[in-house]
């Protein structure tokens, strides 16, 4: 069963309304899914208001979140705290992927904030930032998303060296981006992780995050 804490609906740049995204995920064998639409200061309140309304009628194991995207590093903390106040159960920060012009220093700003749950597709993650992520219990993402996945091997190696915990997410924007158990395992093993480490990433770490959310 797949756990996926990074997906997008029409509330940002995804193709599906939240209900269809969730339905397709569960039919695809998902155990849990979070909708984490892109936000900055312009749309944070609107996105979370809409997602909270959806969540009132959603199945179990559906979580409301945001992905803070292309925000200057010095302003990330303010937006993170606002997201939590507005009801975000999961806060993802759009990391320094190799394929987009993300502000330099975004990874460093994100891992220093314990309120952040996931640093997404962090590209050439530094050892220092991975160490701080481990200290602050910020999960580092391995991704199935085209382009963003180019650094998966590097991210897995640095995280393994430093003790930073990993999650596999899809960053799904379309139905075709959803994955199944078999592909999830291949992606994690393809990043260089052992069978034992892959099982932790795919099964144990998601349960740890859910326990944190449910507190």
212: in domain:
no
User: Would you state the structure tokens that stand for residue 144, as one six-digit string?
Assistant: 């199935």
- Asked, for residue 16, whether it belongs to a domain, the answer is yes
| CA atoms of 138 and 133, how far apart (whole Å) | 5
Residue 84 is predicted with a pLDDT of: 97
> Which pLDDT tens digit goes with each residue over 128-139?
999 999 999 999
Number of domains in the chain: 1
In a domain, 33, yes or no: yes
| For range 117-140, the mean pLDDT | 98
Helices (H) and strands (E) in the chain, counts: 9, 7
Give a yes or no: residue 195 inside a domain.
no
Query: Count of CB atoms within 10 A of residue 180's CB?
Result: 12
Q: Provide the residue range defining the domain that includes 38.
A: 2-144+161-189
Q: For position 115, which CATH number holds?
A: 3.20.20.140
pTM: 0.98
Helix axes 18-27, 44-55, angle to 10 degrees: 50
User: Is 47 within a domain?
Assistant: yes
Q: Tell me the pLDDT band of 215, cut-offs 50, 70 and 90.
A: confident
Q: Is residue 29 part of a domain?
A: yes
Residue-wise pLDDT for 153-207, tens only, equals: 999 999 999 999 999 999 999 999 999 999 999 999 999 999 999 999 999 999 9
Work out the mean pLDDT of the chain and round it to a whole number: 98
Is the pLDDT at 1 greater than 90? The verdict is no
């Amino acid at each position: 069963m797949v756990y996926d804490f990074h997906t997008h609906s029409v509330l940002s740049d995804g193709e599906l309304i939240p209900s269809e995204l969730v339905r397709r995920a569960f039919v695809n064998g998902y155990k849990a899914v979070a909708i984490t639409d892109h936000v900055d200061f312009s749309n944070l309140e609107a996105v979370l208001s809409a997602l909270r309304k959806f969540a009132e009628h959603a199945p179990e194991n559906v979580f409301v979140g945001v992905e803070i995207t292309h925000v200057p590093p010095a302003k990330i903390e303010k937006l993170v705290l606002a997201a939590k106040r507005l009801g975000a159960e999961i806060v993802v920060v759009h990391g320094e992927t190799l394929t987009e012009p993300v502000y330099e220093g975004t990874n460093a700003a994100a891992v220093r904030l314990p309120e952040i749950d996931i640093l997404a597709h962090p590209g050439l993650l530094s050892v220092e930032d991975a160490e701080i992520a481990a200290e602050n219990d910020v999960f580092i993402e391995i991704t199935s998303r085209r382009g963003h996945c180019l650094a998966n091997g590097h991210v897995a190696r640095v995280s393994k060296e430093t003790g930073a915990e990993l999650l596999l997410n899809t960053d799904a924007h379309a139905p075709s981006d959803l994955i199944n158990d078999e592909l999830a395992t291949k992606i994690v093993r393809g990043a260089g992780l052992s069978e034992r480490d892959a099982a932790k990433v795919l099964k144990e770490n998601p349960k740890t995050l859910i326990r944190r959310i449910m507190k």
